Amino acid sequence: GIQVEQSPPDLILQEGANSTLRCNFSDSVNNLQWFHQNPWGQLINLFYIPSGTKQNGRLSATTVATERYSLLYISSSQTTDSGVYFCAVGGYSGNTPLVFGKGTRLSVIA
Amino acid sequence: NAGVTQTPKFQVLKTGQSMTLQCAQDMNHNSMYWYRQDPGMGLRLIYYSASEGTTDKGEVPNGYNVSRLNKREFSLRLESAAPSQTSVYFCASSEMAEAFFGQGTRLTVV
């Protein structure tokens, strides 16, 4: 099955700093999502981005499907950005279940 | 718009007891999923249902059964709970694209 690797596993930032999280995957996909798991355990959809670039406020994401990676950019980080960021990918048929990476744990310090 | 609703939110079971985790979605999605999340492991797929009337095993199905009751509802049953099933359980739904997750059920088996 598809393998998903996220890096770095842990990241500590000073408030206001920028960061880039990476997701590598082992096969062609037709679904790629980024999630933020907040300290209460809730999974929040950030981006549905099987290819291309999207932006939402201080967050943006880019997926280069042909090279099998995606990047999540967080600019001007805030303490509320803390939590775990997951990348998840789905294979080539429509409703193939998502396969998750192990996540990047982000801690933003004031 | 409720999205994906899971009940209960918390549960403590004794080893050997049985229980059913309930999941309902109001987005008219065909596909539904059950995942478990353990520390440092990301989310792993237990079972999924690509459409009403079908169910398939995921990565970690042992010790679980599922029922796709109708298009809205997908339940997960533990017939004889074991301490290894202590975890956070997430239900999700999707329709050929972005998946949405419920708030999770934190299950402890003692």
pLDDT of B96 strictly over 80: no
Mean pLDDT of all residues belonging to chain B: 95
pLDDT band of B1, cuts 50, 70, 90: low
* CA closest to B31 among chain A residues: A95
User: Token pair 């708030």 is at which residue?
Assistant: B103
Confidence (pLDDT) at A96: 81
* Whether A97 and B41 lie within 8 Å, measured CB to CB: no
Confidence (pLDDT) at B39: 86
* Whether A43 and B41 lie within 8 Å, measured CB to CB: no
Going by C-alpha positions, the residue among B25, B10, B12 that lies closest to residue B74 is B25
Confidence (pLDDT) at A92: 65
* CA closest to B51 among chain A residues: A95
Taking only residues 11 to 50 of chain B, the set having a beta carbon closer than 8 angstroms to any beta carbon of chain A reads: 30-31, 33, 35, 40-45, 48, 50
DSSP string, A43-67: EEEEEE-SSEEEEETTEEEEEEGGG
Query: How far is CA B22 from its chain centroid?
Result: 7
CB A29 within 8 A of CB A90: yes
Query: A64-100 burial string, b = 16+ CB within 10 Å, else e?
Result: ebeebbbbbebeebeeebbbbbbbbbbbeeebbbbbb
